[in-house]
Structure 1
Amino acid sequence: MSFEDAAAKGMVVAWHAARAPDRLAISSEQGDRTFSELNAQANRLVELLRGAGLVPGDGVALLCVNRPEFVETVMACQRAGFRLTPVNWHLTADEVAYIVENCEAKAFVADARLAAAAIQAASATSGLRVTLAVGGPIKGFASYDTLMARESGENVPNPLLGSQMLYTSGTTGHPKGVYRGSAPPASSLFAKMVETAQFNGADDVSVVTGPLYHAAPLSLNLLLPLSAGVHTLLMDKWDAEAMLRLVDQHRITHTHIVPTMLNRLLHLTPDIRSKYDVSSLRWVLHGAAPCPVHVKQAALEWLGPVVFEYYGATEGGGVFIEPAEWLNKLGSVGRPTAGVVMQIQDENGKELPQGDVGTVYFEAPATGRFEYFKAPEKTAGVYRGAFYTMGDLGYVDEDGFLFLTGRSAEVIISGGVNIYPSEIDQEVLQHPAVKDVATVGVPNPDWGEEVKAVIQLNQGYEPNEALAEEILVFAAARLATYKRPRTVDFADDLPRLETGKIVRRTVRDRYWQGEKKI
């Protein structure tokens, strides 16, 4: 079987296992797997799930930290035609339960470290045929290790390429599954990444820096190097000095990070940074959030011309820039890769000329176009004809390079994670003191943005520190940790349209322009 045939059937790991069976595929604090072992485990899980009645197209939910069983489940779904949904374990138990049920999971693989959320999700999901616990027991779940030991590790017959359906938080309501009914055309952005990464499976080592339930770590930290036969380390929790230690000890060559990580690495004291040899790094990819110019300049000065950047999202996109290009176009996120059609549009959908700031749109492919699972009204809300947007604002220069100037005030990006203000508004509004609220992202030197709630009080309440703290505690009890407001400001009134709708952008812009209060 050629590599191309193997890839078309989800059997890339099997292809590498046949050629380098004893090469490490993944290593982690919870154990290691050679390519042969990873391949065999993926085969066992396919047989286990098929035995439970799953057929191609069925959903598999995965609630798990960065450990070998996460990767085994990904690889099993890839070759069995299953639709995999990794679940963000930082969400509340209610949100986890919603996703597991909404994705129509027939199988649910969960980590014992996340037992409480797993139990609630399983009890709320009617279509489950099998629930498997990894890393220890979970009440009501079967043991992953016990059931896997009964299955054959031989390559599965009739492999069929599977799919992924990741969930992204919405500007309103529940998270949304990004679904594709058929495979999209081969990504030219991925092709550009492979071209610049220049992987050498025999010698290279990559490291996973973020949680694998996120689209970027899953695709770029894990699947991209593994598909090239590259040994990949899984970090359980990212830490700046710990990452440098891994780079030094394992001669790491490739990784993907977010700007917050770059910033934290650069803030290590010179004596700490000088303890570790990072000269092995050849390809440090970053994206998921805007990177301040001074941070990237400092990274290039330290690491050399090995820092690459992309712009895209779970829904799609495809913009890329190499180090030398960036040094000539400071602040740009790059140009569209081959075949990617990008437009800068005004509020009426008219394409703008070079240099004019508008909303960045991409043309969706004719086949494999994404939609939001079981949410046609939300799908319709992000498209203009064949074009869709992630809500970012920017312009294109005379050479076709994209510069981002801002984004929709409906999206906060903190540490590379999207946070949607209306979700937070809905919870804060339930506090009896709150008449109205505008949640916005405000500058944070480490995270890029942090969450702030700007509140208009009901009559009878006075703005003070004690009330602000009370509201923060109230919100914290109702929201996932990363969504919680970090600070509260009070305002006598909030800017509104004639319809009464709050103009969130006006609230946000005042903080970014240096004003402290509304």
Structure 2
Amino acid sequence: MDDVLLAGPATDVCLRLPEPVERGALRRLVADAQARLAETGLRPGGAVALRLPPSLSYVVHLLAVWRSGGQAVLLDHRLTDHEVDRALERLHPQVVVAPVRAGGGALRVFVDVTAGLSAYSDRSAGSPHAVVQLSSGSTGPSKVIGRTAEDLVAEVRRYTEIDGVARPGERIILLPSMVHVLGLVGGLLYGLHARVELVPPERLSGDAVLAAIAAQDSPATVLGVPFHIGLLASTRPPAPLPQFKRMTTGGELVPAAVAQAFADRHGVPLGNMYGMTEVGVIGTDLYGRHRPSITPAPGIEVREVDGELLVSCPASPYVGLSDPTRWADGWLRTRDAGTVDPVTGLVTVRGRLDSQVSVGGLKVDLTEVEATVAALPGVAAAVVVYDNGITAYVQPDGPLTEDALDKQLAERLAGYKRPRTLHLLDQLPRTTTGKLVRATEALRAATP
């Protein structure tokens, strides 16, 4: 781990929170945390559950677990006690690290945390993985996913071969959570390895992100998810920002209107990444040249089988689960619909595979319907599902009625494609990573 993540001159600044954290200081903090983990009961081959918000303490303890030869179980700090207890009972870590004090407001991206360590069990980790994560759960219950040290190292090195990522001497303005794969590997691990300075903005606001870009002269890449694109699209820079080189987004497909609003506002490339917790980055289009298509990342093979995208994956990534409908013979079924161009190799993601439904014998792509609804004036976000008929859950952006919405849709969609039921919600449910929840039961529960 030291060679991949912690090597380099001691005086190199690797994090700015906003005070600079030099590489030598980070190494000392990791060594101290490693000693505390051992005192609390961590042994080589054991697991540590990290239930910490984004913070220097999170980074230090994550690296200390790996340096100790342990498995890191990453639990989003926003999970409920019930969800955490279920995860702990299943994964039986030797040590749990959780905050005993946290400073800063709710909108702080990184917070000041004092971590408490407690012994939990004396059992070894149940799998050989270096990290265990829970999937976002946007379409159903979260899956427990493990990745080996070799897999993580391979992905970090894969990033170094991708055209358009931040390079040594540059900065990443880090917005996504480091508990999940984009922020963890594309932000933290790649940044440490490539000697790219990681700069979380002080707060999750458009003004704070632009202030973080302006704070130094070195080139800056903003790493985020579609929610953050909308945030920046609605924020006007107070002055020109020549340091702002690009924004890269992962997570969901970016609506065309949002991408255009961002481009009009900032005039920098909006890159797209496609990946999964199970395998990390799958493909990229970091200059926005092929939107919505992507180029497979180096070392990744993608193929299309019956309209579904399959990704090369040597071993099953699932912990305690053998499901041939998800992984078999070195291939992971993404459950995403898409195509692979036989000439260029470009991959086009069409949305969830289960978005194809039949209405009166006619095929309807719910992704198309959802994109149409989301693009309407007065709509901030939308989710379209099939629930005894096409059903749209809509979060308005200002005054909006179901009748007005239905009239607009009648002008844009054929009758058989139009939602039979419309629900207006003050706030659509989202996962902890900011993705819109598409599980029908959760959407029903959120409806007044």
TM-score, normalized by length of structure 2?
0.70
Matched, 1:221 2:204: no
Partners of 1:480 and 1:12 in 2: how far apart? Answer: 27
Deviation per CA, 1:486-506: give whole Å up to 9, x if none.
Answer: 88779xxxxxxxxxxxxxxxx
Matched, 1:26 2:15: yes
Partners of 2:3 and 2:212 in 1: how far apart? Answer: 29
| Alpha-carbon offset, residue 242 of structure 1 | 1.5
SS of structure 1 residue aligned to 2:443: coil
Deviation per CA, 1:208-261: give whole Å up to 9, x if none.
Answer: 212221211121122212222232223465222221121122346123111221
Q: Output the amino acid matched with 1:335.
A: T
CA separation of 1:70 and 1:486: change in aligned 2, threshold 3 A: farther
Aligned to 2:81: 93
User: Equivalent residues in 2 for 1:191-230 (5 A)?
Assistant: 191-193=160-162, 195-201=163-169, 204-230=170-196
Aligned to 1:104: 92
SS of structure 2 residue aligned to 1:206: strand
SS of structure 1 residue aligned to 2:94: strand
Task: List gaps (5 residues or longer) in structure 2.
Answer: 104-111, 119-127, 357-369, 390-401, 403-424
Aligned to 2:351: 406
SS of structure 2 residue aligned to 1:94: helix
Q: Aligned to 1:362, which of 308, 311, 322?
A: 311
Matched, 1:135 2:113: yes
Q: CA RMSD in A?
A: 4.0
| Alpha-carbon offset, residue 382 of structure 1 | 0.5
Q: Output the amino acid matched with 1:406.
A: G
| Alpha-carbon offset, residue 295 of structure 1 | 3.0
On the 8 A contact 2:130/2:148 being kept in 1, the answer is no
Q: Aligned to 2:292, which of 331, 338, 343?
A: 331
Aligned to 1:319: 283
CA separation of 1:244 and 1:94: change in aligned 2, threshold 3 A: same
Deviation per CA, 1:29-69: give whole Å up to 9, x if none.
Answer: 6x652212111000111122223342232111111112110
Partners of 1:288 and 1:399 in 2: how far apart? Answer: 24
CA separation of 1:442 and 1:88: change in aligned 2, threshold 3 A: farther
CA separation of 1:298 and 1:172: change in aligned 2, threshold 3 A: closer
Q: Output the amino acid matched with 2:325.
A: G
On the 8 A contact 2:5/2:189 being kept in 1, the answer is no
TM-score, normalized by length of structure 1?
0.61
On the 8 A contact 1:393/1:407 being kept in 2, the answer is yes
On the 8 A contact 2:160/2:194 being kept in 1, the answer is no
Matched, 1:15 2:1: no
Deviation per CA, 1:163-194: give whole Å up to 9, x if none.
Answer: 2111115589853221245623823742333x
Deviation per CA, 1:142-164: give whole Å up to 9, x if none.
Answer: 6xxxxxxxxxxxxxxxxxx9821
Task: List gaps (5 residues or longer) in structure 1.
Answer: 1-8, 116-133, 143-160, 347-357, 412-439, 457-464, 466-471, 491-518
User: Equivalent residues in 2 for 1:33-432 (5 A)?
Assistant: 33-112=21-100, 135-136=113-114, 163-169=130-136, 175-180=142-147, 183-184=150-151, 186-187=154-155, 189-193=158-162, 195-201=163-169, 204-235=170-201, 237-251=203-217, 253-268=220-235, 273-304=236-267, 306-316=269-279, 318-323=282-287, 326-327=288-289, 329-332=290-293, 334-346=294-306, 358-365=307-314, 369-376=315-322, 379-397=323-341, 398-409=343-354
On the 8 A contact 1:62/1:86 being kept in 2, the answer is yes
| Alpha-carbon offset, residue 104 of structure 1 | 2.3
Aligned to 2:122: none
CA separation of 1:225 and 1:488: change in aligned 2, threshold 3 A: closer
CA separation of 1:196 and 1:104: change in aligned 2, threshold 3 A: same
On the 8 A contact 1:13/1:226 being kept in 2, the answer is yes
Deviation per CA, 1:401-427: give whole Å up to 9, x if none.
Answer: 22222213489xxxxxxxxxxxxxxxx
CA separation of 1:310 and 1:92: change in aligned 2, threshold 3 A: same
On the 8 A contact 1:454/1:488 being kept in 2, the answer is no
Q: Output the amino acid matched with 1:362.
A: V
Partners of 2:301 and 2:94 in 1: how far apart? Answer: 37
Q: Radius of gyration: which is bigger?
A: 1
Identity %: 19
Partners of 1:385 and 1:171 in 2: how far apart? Answer: 26
On the 8 A contact 1:451/1:485 being kept in 2, the answer is no
CA separation of 1:171 and 1:215: change in aligned 2, threshold 3 A: closer
Aligned residues: 370
CA separation of 1:394 and 1:453: change in aligned 2, threshold 3 A: closer
Partners of 1:180 and 1:91 in 2: how far apart? Answer: 21
On the 8 A contact 1:450/1:486 being kept in 2, the answer is no
